[in-house]
Structure 1
């Protein structure tokens, strides 16, 4: 179902609710119905130095209301835009969101590309207790593009109105359609049809990008041409990395990450992280994959050779690998790698370590690379939105919400039984149909949530033009920008990508 999008840029104010009306004469009283939400807009004129340039810009937080075909408001979507002033209708614009599904744009906005960033430790240490200072962010991309951060329905301050069926918005196609609608509306309202356009996100945000580009460029009613897709910590092939019994590719994809984590913690030796990553890639796709696919027909001599090399690369003992039948899940690896030190390693970033309730378990209690940073980011977005930009709401900002539990992962007709969920072909389709569309892919060496080898596996398959993909790697994990050196490098790499059009 197509949605009518009502612009938020015509009204300013807090959400309002109507007083229930009484039925006329002797009619029974009707149930009270909340009035349509009044869209809110908050604007501040600010300035900063980004990419070595002093830039004046306008920051705007605005509500966009998505409605059904019969005009019923169904969702309020909040965007935060940063536009260089005076406005230039031909300047590049970059539409940005995070992942989850259920994650607000706080991570990329307050950690990487927004004009301000939260100060947290850069060396994989816990962010501790407040205060969490907001700092100027010279690595913001405002010198090369205007920035529009989008919080899809159910994330950030965005929400579904009372009575809206979550199934209309919480799903691969539904979410992609809603975000595409918001982008089209923003382009219309701001007169940016002539601007070079970039689209991208992090983690599930890369999956969202595949869905949104299919809506924007594949739609027959409003084709929006794009110049670039910016993918950060890519996940497009979901089935290929799920360790369901019998799915051997999950172990192949995860192995290079185990090697880089072992290298970082001194459990494996190599000349560099790049060197051990390449050794692990070649072993994973060659002898290791071959051994796993042979199953119980694997000859004993070959098994022993594979086990020995697997132990060298992962830092795990041959005894443990034998007990695991050469197949170690990532959850087991987090617990086992540093068990002798009483530590677990992180999922989002395996440089981080934590201590569990005890050291005897099979999997970690939690992810130290998430609880080590989440408080700082949540404080930062609330301070910036409420105190600086003046956005007023009694809703809590959903940095990581629970909409993923309600997510519809199906792709509909034409995709078979959906038993193998891989949406990378949508990226290939968009590139084949738009000869000017380029892809930038950023991966952290220490990211188990979206392994770098998994991104390579999904984007190097048939139908995806390789000459228009830029690959960059960073010495951190899923959110590589939390490391100061990698935030600067990521910014510089994307700046170069945008300028190269």
Structure 2
């Protein structure tokens, strides 16, 4: 027994010792934020401009002033001008869990990647096209690309935990803290301020706009650009029993069928989209809510019209109870050809290995036919142009975030029942408090994850001030800027939107 006691005591001492060593090793040592600064020049909107690029980290802190995270950003700052009132545009992507790479080298940055504009050819293997972006906004505003914690180089530091950042409220609070810190460090409190977000980045933007109006440091925004908006998830979640989604997705299914020659022949995309809108708001909406109160003849009539709009077989539609889930539509539209269409962009096609599966089995061709190009050019750009030398990878997507994300819109401990995520009301209230803020909503016709009709449905509700909402449309998908014609059109629309508020 005595030997056992001694062994236990030695084990206990070793455990305590190891624990102390572990705590010592994990204790955060105060240091200065890292940054990599370079100087560049380019011609944007016809103006020769010299600018500074700063890839750097900002320490986020809790209410006690303790460091909780290291948020990295890339700032492009024009030189040779008075910066005190120089506009600044904060930019981020979505996910949640996506870095800002897509908007950075896809559209807003001084250099951009080019994939097949017509969505027919895979990006293949390196090398890829990476060109000067003469339409970048550096003549008009400075640009700040934000990588939320867990993405890019950003990570938890000090006393922080992933739960401090990986949630709807937590994420918005951390991004708002970064924005206030950046504005303070660069003396921009008197400067016009804008945000641009894509996908979940629009969910975030609405929440950040709300957060910025509180916390004892009110910071009003001049405008927000929402690319492929996702403010109210009821209209962008194609799930069984979600009647709203069948309504909001129908026009996107219709124009995608039109694009692939399966519906709307002889009509323009605008005319066919409008026809689908009217059917959705009329007979289809009524049918969805009547359900089994309809006669078989009524169901047959609706199925006939759904076949007309979607290009799918009427018998298949009837078997689906006149409710076509998006993953099934993507597989069914060109099933006879053995192909599935893209989610982010319905123009993309993939030859499937499993021809009888209910939905696509290879993933989203709109993603994997462009993703390698984005990743390669950005990593090379960081190293060669921006002179970043870090001993860890740049994560385009956060690892492990999906299952750990807290979607609750209320503080911990407050009562909440599961419901569809929505920050639409938050943005509406922010616009009512800030009566000069305007919002631009950019929509891709072939976006099969955040449908354009859902944007219309969302902004028609929630008491949005209609006179300060601008809708724009493009003949591509979620990342409409991958199509050159839409890149050019979006660039003009964004510039016009910003210029209108800077007069």
- Whether TM exceeds 0.5 here: the answer is yes
Q: Which runs of 5+ in 2 are unaligned?
A: 1-16
Please give the residue correspondences for 1:344-359 in structure 2 after superposition, counting only pairs within 5 Å. 344-359=340-355
Say whether the 8 Å CA contact 1:122–1:483 is kept in structure 2. yes
Q: After alignment, is 455-464 or 155-164 more displaced?
A: 155-164
Structure of higher CA gyration radius: 2
Asked if 1:44 corresponds to 2:38, the answer is yes
Say whether the 8 Å CA contact 1:90–1:195 is kept in structure 2. yes
Alpha-carbon distance change, 29 to 471 in structure 1, aligned in 2, over 3 angstroms: closer
C-alpha distance in structure 2 between counterparts of 1:383 and 1:415, whole Å:
48
- The structure 1 segments of at least 4 consecutive aligned residues displaced by more than 6 Å after TM superposition are none
Q: Match for residue 364 of structure 1?
A: 360
Higher-helix-fraction structure: 2
Write the deviation string for residues 21-66 of structure 1: whole angstroms up to 9, x where unpaired: xxxxx99964332434642111111111112222111111110011
Query: In structure 2, the residue corresponding to 1:400 is in which secondary structure?
Result: coil
Q: Match for residue 294 of structure 2?
A: 298
Q: After alignment, is 194-203 or 32-41 more displaced?
A: 32-41
C-alpha distance in structure 1 between counterparts of 2:439 and 2:20, whole Å:
58
Q: After alignment, is 84-93 or 56-65 more displaced?
A: 84-93
- Say which of 45, 55, 69 aligns to 2:63: 69
Q: How many residues align?
A: 475
Alpha-carbon distance change, 29 to 497 in structure 1, aligned in 2, over 3 angstroms: closer
Q: Match for residue 277 of structure 1?
A: 273
Q: Match for residue 404 of structure 1?
A: 402
C-alpha distance in structure 1 between counterparts of 2:217 and 2:66, whole Å:
22
Say whether the 8 Å CA contact 1:239–1:421 is kept in structure 2. yes
Asked if 1:130 corresponds to 2:126, the answer is yes
Q: Match for residue 90 of structure 2?
A: 95
Q: After alignment, is 401-410 or 31-40 more displaced?
A: 31-40
Query: In structure 1, the residue corresponding to 2:379 is in which secondary structure?
Result: helix
Asked if 1:417 corresponds to 2:412, the answer is no
Compute the displacement of 1:133 (Å): 3.1
Asked if 1:468 corresponds to 2:465, the answer is no
Asked if 1:257 corresponds to 2:255, the answer is no
C-alpha distance in structure 1 between counterparts of 2:147 and 2:139, whole Å:
23
Q: Match for residue 267 of structure 1?
A: 262
C-alpha distance in structure 2 between counterparts of 1:210 and 1:341, whole Å:
41
- Say which of 276, 283, 286 aligns to 1:287: 283
Asked if 1:337 corresponds to 2:333, the answer is yes
C-alpha distance in structure 2 between counterparts of 1:38 and 1:133, whole Å:
36
Say whether the 8 Å CA contact 2:300–2:318 is kept in structure 1. no
C-alpha distance in structure 1 between counterparts of 2:170 and 2:308, whole Å:
45
C-alpha distance in structure 2 between counterparts of 1:388 and 1:355, whole Å:
37
Cα RMSD for the two superposed structures: 1.8
Using structure 1 for the length normalisation, give the TM-score. 0.92
Using structure 2 for the length normalisation, give the TM-score. 0.91
C-alpha distance in structure 2 between counterparts of 1:236 and 1:319, whole Å:
35
Say whether the 8 Å CA contact 1:241–1:251 is kept in structure 2. no
C-alpha distance in structure 2 between counterparts of 1:57 and 1:454, whole Å:
39
Q: Match for residue 6 of structure 1?
A: none
Q: Match for residue 390 of structure 1?
A: 387
Alpha-carbon distance change, 96 to 27 in structure 1, aligned in 2, over 3 angstroms: closer
Say whether the 8 Å CA contact 1:139–1:487 is kept in structure 2. no
